[in-house]
Amino acid sequence: MFSKNKYLSGLFLLIAVIAFGYHFFSPDGDPAKMGVERSGDIALTTLNGDEVSLADYRGKVVLVNFWATWCQPCVKEIPDLVKLRNTYKDQGFEVLGLVVNSPSNQVRKMVSDLEMNYPILPADARLASKFGNVTTIPRTFVLDTEGNIVEDVLGMRSYRAFELMITKYLPKNAKS
């Protein structure tokens, strides 16, 4: 009995190590290799009906956050994203919230209740595929000033973690 449990534990550990290695060391997992379309980029419509494109944000560092109203970790990090935008918006930084699978009335209420100060855009499978097929949220990408994905983060992060991610990509003349 003991050796069977030991064998199964070892097998499980081996599978976990292989899966971990595949995810983190495969070329598809490298954010630099998952570029967002560059020419013409992705056309989006905000909740307010405004048309925007990722090309509109060239020259800025952009934090793209996939979230949903029913996702508690997503909701929990929103105040940090609001604060981050307030702190760095005049230094070449923007946040885009891409909301998935959430009724628009709930999204509008949450935007109001949490005083979300950045563009909120409905996301669909087509849009998620442009970012390497987003299937889990919260999922956050940081785009450099050229529109390249330079950070790919799965799961909730703190204000400080987001701040450390974005500041290294801000234009050199930006001051915090």
For the record, the structure tokens of 170 come out as 């801000």
If pLDDT is split at 50, 70 and 90, which confidence band does 171 have?
confident
Higher-pLDDT residue of 4, 96:
96
Length of the chain: 176
- Domain ranges in the chain are 1-33, 34-167
CATH code for the structural domain at 34-167: 3.40.30.10
Q: Is the pLDDT of residue 8 over 80?
A: no
- Tell me what pLDDT residue 72 has: 96
Looking at residues 131-144, what average pLDDT do you find?
91
Model-wide pTM > 0.85: no
Structure confidence by residue, pLDDT tens digits, 100-122 = 988 999 999 999 999 999 999 99
